[in-house]
Amino acid sequence: MIVRLLGEGQFRVDDSLLARLNELDAQVEQAVEAGDERALWSGLQALAETVRENGEKLADEDLLPSDAIIPPEDLSLDEARELLQDEGFIPDVPVGS
């Protein structure tokens, strides 16, 4: 499967990694609920590192869509809440099709 680290690029990782990523994703969500920014950052960092270590970066020319998208490592609590609450976090960019 293909995973995008926002602000960094896309990686191809083995499907078997999904369970681990979901686990870390749940930790990140808990951190947001607890209002714990440090835990949020360490969770996001763990997600990104897992992808970097186990994945292979896609070439710039690849036009494949991602199966999972991971927020930037320095996401603030406010941004994380915005992300969980509505769609305003991602700017509206026309895809053009």
Partner 1 sequence: MPGLMSRLSLIFKAKFSKALDRAENPNETLDYSYEEQLRQLQNVKRGIADVTTAKKRLELQYTSMQQQVDKLDGQARQALAASREDLAREALTRKAAVQAQLDGIMQQGQQLEAQQQKLIEGERTLQSKVEAFRTQKEVIKAQYSAAEAQVRIGEAATGIGEQMADVGLAVQRAKDKTEQMQARANAIDELTTSGALTDLTSSGDDIDRQLAQLSQGSQVDDELAKMKAELGTGGAPVPKQLEGEEAT
Beta bridge partners of 64: none
Phi then psi for 51, rounded to 5 degrees? Answer: -70, -45
Per-residue DSSP letters for 19-44?
HHHHHHHHHHHHHHHHT-HHHHHHHH
Both tokens assigned to 31: 């951190």
Nearer to partner 1 by Cβ, of 11 and 68: the residue is: 68
Q: Does 19 bind partner 1 (CB under 8 A)?
A: no
Q: Hey, is 95 helix, strand or coil?
A: coil
Q: Does 91 bind partner 1 (CB under 8 A)?
A: yes
Pick from 12, 17, 29, 45 the residue near partner 1 by CB under 8 A. Answer: 29
**Contact characters 33-72, partner 1, x per CB under 8 A:** -----------x--x------------xxxxxxxxxxxxx
What is the rounded distance in angstroms from the CA atom of residue 75 to the CA atom of residue 19? 23
CB of 83 to partner 1, least distance (A): 6
- Catalog residues that contact partner 1 under the rule CB under 8 A: 4, 6-9, 21-22, 25-26, 28-29, 32, 44, 47, 60-72, 74-75, 79-80, 83-84, 87, 89-97
